[in-house]
Amino acid sequence: MAASASIYNFLTLLLLCGIPYTFSELVKEQPLVLKYHNGPLLKGKITVNLIWYGKFSPTQRSIIVDFINSLSSAVKPKVPSASFWWKTTEKYKSGSSTLVVGKQILLENYPLGKTLKNPHLPALAGKFNGVGTVSVILTAKDVAVEGFCMRCGTHGSNRVGRGRVRGTFIWVGNSETQCPGQCAWPFHQPIYGPQTPPLVAPNGDVGIDGMIINLATLLANTVTNPFNNGYFQGPADAPLEAVSACTGIFGSGSYPGYPGKLLVEKSTGASYNANGINGRKYLLPAMWDPHTSRCKTLV
């Protein structure tokens, strides 16, 4: 966040001073290298188990399940596609990471209450333990999670049994009523920076479409840096990872406060950049490409 803020302040200063630089020229001056720290990555078949904490409608659940299935779908979708976006992860030390939705648990009665602390997350993830799995905890819009507005979601690992093998987990929260300016942008007015009009969400649900952006980010970050010794830049406890290194970039020509050039659905006016299965459309963030050392967008 500090690096992003310093870049934004630098751009603002240049604009105010009338210095004739374009945003693209300025961005080119910023090197971006994610170092590989020699740790294991998640490759091969990866089972994604879902823990729905709180109340989600069947439609909301289907949007998210369809998204995960779209990433490794054998069905050839329209281009640009979510599966093509995901293929960039194959460039991280080579080898594919094929995601398959596994088991799902509905915890609609809030067994740990409506305010979760950080230790609750690995505890919930422990409901599904196993090698080659990712436990995804999805919290409903009325569930507060410690540090929600500072991160919008997180990923980590925990021990499986008494051995050294570790399982991985992700938490993503629905930000419809909790800091949507941070966690659901560009489908909501940003809390700071240029106040551009919010985009229309492709699935008609600001909270869920915001969750898709954060889930996409964390799935890519997890398979490329599952145990804090994979690909990242900066300190291991606060790293810039595969997608978090490209925060705020969704299409070509993006700059702070502007997500970039996107596709627009004529019938709804919704903005998107990826097609998925079952006719779904999604907005996915840029991902760092190890072959070019640039943030790669779909459009």
pLDDT tens string 228-244: 999 999 999 999 999 99
**pLDDT at position 193:** 81
The torsion angle over the Cα atoms of residues 175, 177, 180 and 183, rounded to 10 degrees, is -20
Number of neighbouring beta carbons within 10 Å of residue 39: 14
Tell me, what DSSP letter sits at residue 152? S
The stretches in the chain having pLDDT less than 50 are 1-27, 29
Q: Is the peptide bond before 256 cis (omega within 30 degrees of 0)?
A: no
**pLDDT at position 166:** 80
**pLDDT at position 5:** 38
CA atoms of 217 and 215, how far apart (whole Å): 5
Cα radius of gyration (the chain): 19
| Model confidence, pTM | 0.89
157: helix, strand or coil? strand
E-state strands within 1-150: 35-36, 44-53, 97-107, 115-116, 133-139, 144-145
**pLDDT at position 1:** 41
CA atoms of 108 and 103, how far apart (whole Å): 16
**pLDDT at position 216:** 98
**pLDDT at position 161:** 64
Say if residues 231 and 241 touch (Cβ distance below 8 Å).
yes
Which residues, in sequence order, are CB contacts of 236 under 8 Å at separation 6+?
A: 37, 228, 229
Going by their DSSP bridges, the two strands 133-139 and 44-53 should be labelled as parallel
